[in-house]
Structure formats: C-alpha cells, structure tokens
Amino acid sequence: MKFYHRKVILEISDSVYEPQEDSLLLAEILERYKLAGKKCLDMGCGSGLLAILMAKKGAKVIACDVNPEAIKITASNAKANNVKIKTIKSDLFSALNDSYDFIIFNPPYLPAENLEGQSSSRFRRTKFSEDTHQHKEQWSGGKTGRDIIEKFLQELPKHFNKNGKSLMVFSSLTGEKEVRKLCEKNDIFFRILKREKIPWEKLILAELSK
C-alpha cells in the first residue's frame, strides 16, 4: 500500500504503524524548525515519514525502531525518496549511545482501558516481541498510556546535545497534566506547541528541552 504526503511517497507494511493524524501533526510542526546540518533522531520511525522529512530539510538523520520490519521499510522508503538515513534497531534508547540536536517521537500513547473493543487501524501500533520473535499488535502505551512515554523521558536528557530539542505527540486521553509532571520529574522543560481536536480525542504536541 502507498501513502502520499506532499512530495514523499511511502510504501506501507501491514506490520508497521501507518502515518495518521498524530504523524501529520508532527510533520506540520516540523516545518518550523531549521534542521540543516543538525544531528536528528526519529524515535520509533515506523514507515519513515518523519525521518525522510527531516532528511529533506538537510538533517543528518538516524531512524530507530524496535520492530525490524519498520527498520527495513524505512530504509527502503528513504532510498525511494532519494535521501540518506541511518537506521538502527533499538528499543527506545537501548542501542543508542549518541546525543542529538533534535529528537522526534510519536509514541504509543493511548490508554488500554479506554480502547477495549476498538478495532480501527487508528489504534493499532505494532511492537516486536524479542521473546517470541513474533509481531504483535500494541494498541496503547499501557494502562494509562504513559508507560513508554515515561521510559523515554527518563533517558531523554542524556541524549540531548547543547540546546537540543524534542517534539513529542500524545493524547488528551494520556493526560496532559501527568505528562507534564513526568517531564518535571526528569528536569525536562515542557512547552505545548499545538492542540488539535479530532473526533475521539485531542492531540497534544509538545516541545521538550533541558
């Protein structure tokens, strides 16, 4: 299946998260940033849309994902869109030792307790299980939606270059106040850039920095 965004054309795999409203919100805000020559990380790259957009802005891009199929398809999509991206299989920062000028992250953030019975592709995130070597569907970021976000925020400050910034999107269902508190706990400055209402929730896009 093909996905089109401006001049980017992506091949989408059934086992990789397809760009949706949250991805497009990140893509929109990404346009505000001057990234030429900067070292950038697409955390949880999926099909590679955001990594490709950063590379097209002249950034030196590393794309990582826990799902090996995402790594494979991001590399293929980068080549098809004539950009150079380094791909690394990593569960969050586990395989990453470097620091970055800019980090973009679209995490699984929907609370499992709010999604029982939902079957829309809107709620499907694929996670690779190291234990079973099988792909399994991950609807959310745990019971509250903050499990993966919390792990990310705990490690984030160690991977910022001087004046480094991060963009992260989550949902009103995840809890804006709670995410803000997690940032404060990890000495991360939290600033809301945009809230966007969609039928079932409100998307929240935040800029994070030291």
What is the rounded CA–CA span in Å between residue 204 and residue 195?
Answer: 5
Query: Predicted confidence band at 114 (pLDDT cuts at 50, 70, 90)?
Result: low
Give me the domains of the chain, ranges plus CATH numbers.
Answer: 2-209 (3.40.50.150)
Strand partners, 168: 105, 206
End-to-end Cα separation, the chain, in angstroms:
39
Per-residue pLDDT at 169: 97
| Element holding 153 (H helix, E strand) | helix 147-155
| Element holding 24 (H helix, E strand) | helix 21-30
Per-residue pLDDT at 141: 85
Phi and psi for 113 in degrees, rounded to 5?
-65, -20
Query: pTM, whole model, 2 decimals?
Result: 0.89
Over 80: is that where the pLDDT of 196 sits? yes
Per-residue pLDDT at 198: 92
What is the rounded CA–CA span in Å between residue 124 and residue 204?
Answer: 19
Query: Predicted confidence band at 112 (pLDDT cuts at 50, 70, 90)?
Result: confident
What is the rounded CA–CA span in Å between residue 13 and residue 144?
Answer: 28
Phi and psi for 68 in degrees, rounded to 5?
-60, -25
> For the segment 72-93, what is each residue's pLDDT rounded down to a tens digit?
999 999 999 999 999 999 999 9
CA geometry: angle 52, 55, 60, nearest 5 deg: 130
Query: Predicted confidence band at 136 (pLDDT cuts at 50, 70, 90)?
Result: very low
Per-residue pLDDT at 153: 98
Over 90: is that where the pLDDT of 124 sits? no
What is the rounded CA–CA span in Å between residue 99 and residue 199?
Answer: 37
What is the rounded CA–CA span in Å between residue 47 and residue 125?
Answer: 12
Supply 80's token pair: 């098809």
Query: Predicted confidence band at 66 (pLDDT cuts at 50, 70, 90)?
Result: very high
SS3 198: strand
> Please, which residues have CB within 8 angstroms of residue 51's CB and are 6 or more apart in sequence?
42, 45, 61, 63, 74, 78, 85
What is the rounded CA–CA span in Å between residue 147 and residue 143?
Answer: 8
- Give me the sheet containing 201-209, strands edge to edge: 85-89, 60-65, 39-43, 100-105, 160-171, 201-209, 189-198
Per-residue pLDDT at 119: 38
CB atoms within 10 A of CB 134: 7
> For the segment 16-44, what is each residue's pLDDT rounded down to a tens digit?
988 999 999 999 999 999 999 999 999 99
- Summary mean pLDDT of the chain: 89
